Amino acid sequence: MKDLSIYIHIPFCKEKCFYCDFLSFKGKEEYFKKYKIALLKEIEEFAILNKDKYIIKTIFIGGGTPSILPIGYIGEIMEKIFTLFHMAKNLECTIEANPGALSYEKIKHFKDNNINRISLGLQAYQNHLLKKIGRIHTIEEFLKNYENVRKVGFENVNIDLMFSLPTQTERDFEQTLKNISELEPEHISTYSLILEEGTKFYSMYEKGEFELFNDEIDRKLYYMAINILQKKGYNLYEISNFCKPNKECKHNIVYWTRKEYIGFGLGASSLIDEKRIINTTNFNDYINFKNKQEIEVLEKRHMYSEFIFLGLRMTNGIKKSDFYKEFNVSIDEIYKSQLDKFIKNGLIIQEDDNIRLSKKGIDLSNVVFSEFI
Ligand code: SF4
């Protein structure tokens, strides 16, 4: 049997956060049930066609806001997966939860249904900032839920944070990092604000209602995160992700190392049999069982570049021998000029079989990645 990971997309939110361009909708509560039925059908059809072919290593229920669904739904989805697939012994199963759409009962329901990792979207520790970015919860609600997550017995918790938010000060971000690391979650993700077209922030920015931080301040905040979190025993294992020893997110490592995964749900993407498959993004089509997929057979060049730019996101980088094992061709043969250039100007460090980004390379990672695409 082959290893496989599963991603489940839940495209519902109570409100749209001002920075978010993810595929999610507010105000579709009346469609929750229809969506779940379509999702279960999609899972079942794949499982029937691929009976006994895969062993599931990780599951990630993301969104959107999976925790918005009524109690029972996640259990049904998990039961379907557990009935139809073979599960790895050390299965990692994550659910994303919004502190404004969560309760003790829901957390308990997740735990009772084989979910063993929970990812809480907090973003900032200050209520005025949470409001400013359109989050639906307060810090007090987050703390209560965090307490419940521990009470119920979750031993693997991620907290998402953001920096370079409008009006956020260095002091705010420092306080966020210190207070959150005091709670000792096993994993912390921290991303800087990126202005995405179609978001509320985008139109506010166009109207001149706020200014983006400059790169220098953004980098300063990023290194502040590294300093504070490393002192607290967190290891930066990917450009934006920190964890306590052996608590890396296995599911995300599947993405960064180009292992196979299947995505179920609206707009979910899969990497399977050297194909990239993307589900329909049309909500009505999806709930009416018309999941027209885009299927792209990946060319070798495409796979090489993905291997490099995804792999270099991890601070341990990639192994030249792994590239060879995967593609039966040497990385130097394909990317000699790029590698020579980046090694020479200090953006990439090469040590024996290993290639990784330097500190300068992390700051200019977009420049590096774009040369491999
Ligand atoms: S809760 Fe998450 S998915 Fe929903 S709008 Fe906010 S950031 Fe986007």
Report CA(317)–ligand 1 centroid distance (Å).
30
The four Cα atoms 53, 54, 55, 56 give a dihedral, to 10 degrees, of -150
Residue minimizing CA distance to atom 2 of ligand 1: 64
Calpha distance 309→316 (Å, rounded): 13
**Looking at residue 328, what is its pLDDT?**
96
If you ran DSSP here, which 8-state letter would residue 354 be given?
E
Res 213 pLDDT > 90? no
How far apart CA 200 and CA 206 sit, in angstroms, is 10
Q: Report the separation in Å between the CA atom of 13 and the middle of ligand 1, taken as the mean of its atom positions.
A: 6
* pLDDT tier, 212 (very low <50, low <70, confident <90, very high otherwise): confident
Preceding amide of 346 cis, omega within 30? no
Question: Does 333 score more than 90 pLDDT?
Answer: yes
String of DSSP letters for 180-217: HHHH--SEEEEEE----TTSHHHHHHHTTS--PPPHHH
Average pLDDT, the chain: 96
pLDDT band at 117 (very low <50, low <70, confident <90, very high): very high
Task: Give, for ligand 1, the residue of 13, 130, 158, 161 to mutate: max count of ligand atoms closer than 8 Å to Cβ.
Answer: 13
Using an 8 Å Cβ cutoff, are 129 and 152 in contact?
A: no
Ligand 1, CB cutoff 6 Å, lining residues? 13, 16-17, 20, 22, 24, 63-65, 98, 121
Q: How much is the pLDDT for 331?
A: 96
Mean pLDDT in residue range 116-143: 98
Residue 90 is predicted with a pLDDT of: 96
Structure-derived torsion over alpha carbons of residues 341, 347, 352, 355, reported in degrees to the nearest 10: -100
Which atom number of ligand 1 is nearest to the Cα of residue 13? 4
Q: How far is the CA of 69 from the centre of ligand 1 (A)?
A: 14
Three-state secondary structure call for residue 50: coil
Q: Which domains does the chain have, with CATH numbers?
A: 2-255 (3.20.20.70), 300-373 (1.10.10.920)
Q: Is the pLDDT of residue 210 over 90?
A: no
Please identify, by atom number, the ligand 1 atom nearest to the C-alpha of residue 134.
Answer: 6
- Dist. CA 355–CA 361, nearest whole Å: 12
User: What would the pLDDT profile of 281-301 be if each residue is shown by its tens digit?
Assistant: 999 999 999 999 999 999 999
The predicted-structure confidence for 241-293, as pLDDT tens digits, reads as follows 999 999 999 999 999 999 999 999 999 999 999 999 999 999 999 999 999 99
Helix pair 331-344, 365-372: axis angle to 10 deg: 150
Report the distance separating Cα 1 and Cα 54, nearest Å: 5
Strand partners, 294: 278
Residue nearest to atom 6 of ligand 1 (CA): 17
Summarize the confidence of residues 142-146 as an average pLDDT: 98
Q: What confidence tens digit (pLDDT) does each residue in 185-209 have?
A: 999 999 999 999 999 999 999 999 8
The token duo for 269 is: 């993407």
Whose C-alpha lies nearest to ligand 1, atom 3? 64
Tokens 């307060």 belong to 138
Which atom of ligand 1 is closest in space to residue 64's alpha carbon? Answer: 3
- Distance CA(3)–CA(180), nearest Å, equals 34
| Position 13 pLDDT exceeds 90 | yes
Please state the atom number of ligand 1 nearest to the C-alpha of residue 98.
1
Q: How far apart are CA 256 and CA 277, in angstroms?
A: 17
Mean pLDDT value of segment 2-15: 98
Task: Confirm if 296 and 303 have CB atoms less than 8 A apart.
Answer: no
Q: pLDDT band for 330, please (50, 70, 90 cuts).
A: very high
